[in-house]
Structure 1
Amino acid sequence: MRPPAQAPLAVRAQAPSELAPPPDAAGATWRPVTADDGAALVSLVTRIESVDNPPYRTSPEEVLEYFDASHDWSALGAWDDAQRLVAFGFVRVRRGDSTLVRAFCSGGVAPDRRGEGLGGALLDWQTGRARQMLAESGRDAPGRIVVHVDDDMETLARQLRRRGFEPRRWYSQLRRDLSLPIPDVRLDRPLSVEPWSPELDDAVRRAHNKAFGEQWGSQPHTPETWAQEWSHHAPSWSFVALDRSSDRTQVAGYLMSSRYEQDWPALGWTEGYTEILGVLPDWRGRHVATALLTRAMRAYADDGMQYAGLDVDADNPTGADVLFMNLGYERTRGSAMYTVEI
């Protein structure tokens, strides 16, 4: 019987009192993955992506972010007889979550060890561990176990459905050809688009929390979680829309870009990637987002990029998808968020 919705998260999570690792199989021994295993984890992710050939590559810096201090995390790995890591699974709960506590699950199995049940065993362990970590979080709010699934990951999607996960949100990856004319968008004074600077960073973080505060699944960033977002931040491609109409300058909007050079060979093109774009409520409808996007496009093009890229939530309530299409963005691929709601 499921506990009532108003029960504390520690009760609703229905966490197992004990969670043993999967039984050892022929040539595979399970044990926790720690930060000391970073090099082995980087090697396994590289082997997986070299065979699966996704349209991106995870850099060593991004892999090691699994261990960052902005999340509580737990990880399990399978090691072969040669002490080579052949499968891994992480569960990460972000410390800044307050009104919704999320447990993010990620992992993978070496291509030469698939079909042996390692992936399913990891998913079972991750689901149980996620329930434990939600119960241990000390926060009494709705909980969510999250797995992101690319469009072509059909086996993973089937495994998740069998374990009670459902697709809740869909995302599209878009690109815009920078060889096409870029519109000239000017903002009415006293609004201006200016380069991002470290001095503006915390004001941008606070503006982001306000801009996205009511969107589905969004949780506020602390200074620590915000800092962890930017392993590939491109300062010269990032911009802030400022309102200087009073003696206290206000952030009206912002665009933060990243430079994922390791992805370009897999993509087949170079791109400047718009990581986040936001406009605060008081300035919506004044072309702030368009001005930020076109300013970023010019910066990407000036540095020789072929495309501007970004992701968009298919259910974005701001109508951002229409804005992107009007600016010439086209869909290249997609992904879905599978969840268990607690």
Structure 2
Amino acid sequence: MIPEDSRFENDPEELVAEAPELPSGWAVGSPDPADRFDVARLTHLLRAHERHGRGWAGAGVDDVLVEVSEHGLRTRQNVVVRDADGEIRAWGSAHDRAAGRMLFVHVVERDLPERVAKACSDVLFEWAVGQAKVLGAARGLESQQIDTGAFADDERQHKWLADAGFERVRTWWQMSRPVVSDEADLVPEPARWEDRGVVFRRVRRAPEGGMPDAEDLRKVHEVLEGAFVDHFNHHEETFEEFVHRLREDPGHRWDHWWLAELVEDGGRTPVGTLVGAVSESSGGGPDGSYVEYLGVLEAARGRGVAKGLLRTIIADAAARGRDRVGLEVDADSSTGADGLYTSMGWVTKYVTESWHRDVPVG
């Protein structure tokens, strides 16, 4: 059942005209999140896509369920192409991320003949453009952005995106830093410590690991909105959208959220925040930590806030027995943030790209 507040069209046939280029018997439809074979097949396709694009696969069943489960259908919708035997050969997923921004996942089986693979790709793009128009109309927009990604070395994906009217707009370095047990002492205590008039602390939570303090969560949201307002492709996200989206993340943990507060005039002002997550290992090794967001308000930059937050998540990861901390860096940004990361031991593991298409809603 599609939630009433979903802005998407849930019937693929309303958006995709006949697809004569598909082989006879192939059909366009929706995945069934309750069907373990569908979920397993989507996981296989996604992992093969990652393996081809960067050399190794990291996605798992939980990542697929974020996209296709009924819980996620408040802000997401999916389409699949099935062969004559009902097996999924291509998958598209749209995410209503924020006003004016729709994320799009585009995955086509790697072993298909070129003509068939291209036909599947065209179906996914046609569906995505249709969803963009529906979503944009529901939000009262004149134009709706489709934001999709590609691995830097995936030439097949690049060609399809360019042919479908997408433009490569940004490059991202996916960085990682090793963590050793001794680094648990990088800060006095990851839960709370102070340095040069700045307090670094975890967001407050109810006793015995309950829900976090609503006021603290709003402080995190406000700092991020203020810190990223001038950043590339920033679209304002409501507090409710922000919390709902991050809670869907399989790696989400409330005890991986930190605030940095400036102590002055007898009070404390939030000036920075780090939202972290668990990066689970798929090979039986130690898990890692991941920096989902690191934001510092402009007025507080140059006071060591970003470095203090990074030292905090490194120390926290070491205390938990983790072996790495990952993050994403805008390779085209002029802020120089990459210099901080490399100085603290981060190195680039692989590179991704953002591709955009603006769809007139009409």
The CA deviation at 1:38 is: 6.5
The reply on whether 1:210 has 2:232 as its aligned counterpart is no
Which residue pairs with 1:46 in the alignment?
43
The CA deviation at 1:42 is: 2.3
The CA deviation at 1:41 is: 4.5
1:220 aligned counterpart, secondary structure: coil
Give the alignment's Cα RMSD to 1 decimal. Answer: 2.9
Any unmatched runs of 5+ in structure 1? 1-16
* 1:172 and 1:333 in contact (8 A); partners too: yes
The CA deviation at 1:106 is: 1.1
Any unmatched runs of 5+ in structure 2? 1-13, 188-193, 205-211
* Residue type of the alignment partner of 1:30: V
The CA deviation at 1:332 is: 0.7
Which residue pairs with 1:289 in the alignment?
306
* Residue type of the alignment partner of 2:276: S
The CA deviation at 1:241 is: 0.7
Distance 1:75 1:212, change over 3 A: same
Distance 1:80 1:218, change over 3 A: same
Separation in 2 of the partners of 1:196 and 1:327? 24
The CA deviation at 1:239 is: 1.9
Separation in 1 of the partners of 2:88 and 2:169? 32
The structure 1 segments of at least 4 consecutive aligned residues displaced by more than 6 Å after TM superposition are: none
Which residue pairs with 2:85 in the alignment?
82
* 1:38 and 1:64 in contact (8 A); partners too: no
Which residue pairs with 1:196 in the alignment?
203
The CA deviation at 1:287 is: 0.3
Separation in 2 of the partners of 1:38 and 1:77? 14
* Residue type of the alignment partner of 1:291: G
Distance 1:56 1:244, change over 3 A: farther
**TM-score when scaled to structure 2?**
0.77
Equivalent pairs: percent with the same residue?
Answer: 21
The reply on whether 1:223 has 2:239 as its aligned counterpart is yes
The CA deviation at 1:254 is: 0.9
Separation in 2 of the partners of 1:331 and 1:257? 19
The farther-off stretch of 131-140 and 151-160 is: 131-140
2:40 aligned counterpart, secondary structure: helix
Deviation readout 1:271-325 (Å, 9 max, x if unpaired): 2111110111221110000000011101111111222111111123432111101
Distance 1:188 1:140, change over 3 A: same
* 1:209 and 1:219 in contact (8 A); partners too: no
Separation in 2 of the partners of 1:248 and 1:51? 52
The reply on whether 1:92 has 2:92 as its aligned counterpart is no
Separation in 1 of the partners of 2:15 and 2:278? 43
Distance 1:113 1:238, change over 3 A: same
Which residue pairs with 2:62 in the alignment?
61
Equivalences, count: 317
**TM-score when scaled to structure 1?**
0.81
* 2:289 and 2:326 in contact (8 A); partners too: yes
Which residue pairs with 2:278 in the alignment?
259
Deviation readout 1:248-272 (Å, 9 max, x if unpaired): 54211111111121x4429x77421
Separation in 1 of the partners of 2:77 and 2:347? 38
Name which of 351, 354, 357 aligns with 1:334. Answer: 351
